[in-house]
Amino acid sequence: MDYVDQVFEGGTVSLDGNNYTRCTFRNVILKYAGGPLEMDACTMERFAFQFDGDLARGLHSLHQILGTERMLTMLRNRAEGRPDAATQP
C-alpha cells in the first residue's frame, strides 16, 4: 500500500509491503519482518522497533554470535556505508 503525506501517531505501524512518502511517525512502534519497504522523506519522532519473523530470528542469531557491541558496530558501519569491520576476527 502507498502512503503519502500521512501522520501516524500512537499504536503499531506494520512496515512490510508498504511505501511511505513524506509521512510522519510519532510515538509509534514500527513493526518490521524484513519484507519490501520504501520510505522517502519521512520524519520519525519518538519511535521504537518491533522485529518479527525471519528478520527477528536472524537478528537474534547475530546477537548470539557477535554480542551486543560487535553487532552495534556492524549496524553502524552498514548504515554509514563502511565495510563490516565488526565481523572480522
Domain that holds residue 17: 2-80
pLDDT for 86 beyond 70:
no
CA distance 75 to 28: 22
Radius of gyration of the CA atoms of the chain, in A: 15
Confidence of residue 74 (pLDDT cuts 50, 70, 90): confident
Q: Is residue 40 included in any domain, yes or no?
A: yes
- Please state the domain count of the chain: 1
Flag the least confident range among 3-7, 28-32, 83-87: 83-87
pLDDT for 85 beyond 90:
no
Q: What is the mean pLDDT of the chain?
A: 91
Q: Strand, helix or coil at 88?
A: coil
Q: Is residue 89 included in any domain, yes or no?
A: no
Sign of CA dihedral 75, 77, 78, 83: negative
Confidence of residue 81 (pLDDT cuts 50, 70, 90): confident
